[in-house]
Amino acid sequence: MKIDVVILAAGQGSRMRSSKPKVLHSIGGKSMLQQVVDAASALQDVDIHIVVGHGADQVREAMGEGCHYAEQKEQLGTGHAVAQALPLLSEGSKTLILYGDVPLTKTETLQAMLDAVDEQSMAVLTTQLDDATGYGRIVRDQAGAVLSIVEQKDANAEQLAINEINTGIMCIPQAQLSRWLPQLSNDNAQNEYYLTDVIALAVADGVAINTPQPGSSHEVQGVNNREQLAELERVLQAWNASRLMTNGATLADPARIDIRGDVDVGQDVFIDINTVFSGKVTIGSNVRIGPNCVITNASIADNSEIFANSVIEDASVGQHCNVGPYARLRPGAVLADKARVGNFVEVKNSSIGEGSKANHLAYIGDADIGAGSNIGAGTITCNYDGANKFKTTMGDNVFIGSNSTLVAPLEIEDGGFVGAGSTITTKVPSDTLAVGRGKQRNISGWQKPVKKKD
């Protein structure tokens, strides 16, 4: 059966104190709304419909054309919001109703909701809370069947004592939803059209109401302010850390790691404190990552070590490599097996061949370096003339002496040797020494400057 997912994202979120719509605030490196969309998109045969209102243009721009949009021009309640999406729904679908500010609901929980629904039944996601203040209560009959959901402001004392709460997440057959929404009334304390009032209509029509529950109450926790967002951020990071450890990583401190994307690890990986992962990161087996590293959209192959305070972005590290400390691999950096990039070395859009090394204080940009080569300290590739970028190519077993300046476009063939302190502007043939520096002069009798007295 077709699945329509309706995500309510029209609220202003004034308590966030932000010009940005609440649902676009980030958790785990993605907007809250994107987290919800990603969880729903992992289901089978899904169309995503987002109900927008405040900051609608910003939401559309952020989420792109992969979603459908309905606009709620007036904030008249959740029932009214869902009604705006009715024309977009497929006939005979299951309609899953989610919230853009409830970012941690897991795909398996959504699947349980779908599994609990057929043409004559609907589902409401509920959970038990020690303190249910502020939530709608699930009212049941003596046999345990759901009778209604009563909002906090409309509840009597007996109903307020109930600790089973409505999370707001529902799954309803499209045919039933299309029939019930026009029957909603705003005769309540808030003068709003409550989506929860469909429960009474379902009871009246003899539609069964099933109540799956999430694995954790954090899955259904909403965000109204930055403190709550920070709280859920730590929950998500704890889940991420647990998954890494389950998959084969040792974390020096699970509370001091941030994953803002997707990280896959092999076996026997060690990750030290304060490392931040963003985007898609793949880490092989027996990899060690030192403290305070930032790794974004990168792959690190088996048996490599990333030392402290290194930054790797859109780069690839081969097997048995060493990177850092204080190294930076910028986009397009590719290290072959056994390559070494040491402290205060920056590599951009360059490949470093097998066993080659740049151990300290170098800039390698727009270069291809063969196998077994050595780049001395203080070496830079001059790849930019102020308008265009140019390439430096080095063959195998090239040796570049310290403090050399390689002016691209430039080729240094296999076995080429550059003397320390040289500025090289033309091709260096194979097995040739190139020296490009001024002649030294020693001046005898030279007088050291003396500081003038006041």
List, in order, residues 6 or more apart from 104 with CB less than 8 Å away: 27, 35, 218, 219, 221, 232, 235, 236
CA-wise closest residue to 273 among 245, 292, 300, 295: 292
Question: Is 360 known to be catalytic?
Answer: yes
Q: Within a 13 Å sphere around the CA of 273, how many CA atoms are in the beta-carbon half? A: 3
Q: Kindly list the distances between the CA atom of residue 172 and the CA atoms of 36, 51, 180, in Å, as whole numbers in the listed order.
A: 18, 17, 10
Cα angle: 238, vertex 243, 244; to 5 degrees: 100
CA gap 67, 61 in Å, rounded: 11
Dist CA 351 CA 335 (whole Å) = 6
Contact 9, 51 (CB under 8 A): yes
The CA distance from 395 to 218, in Å, is 56
CB 19 within 8 A of CB 52: no
Pairing of strands 288-289, 305-306: parallel
Which are the catalytic amino acids? 360
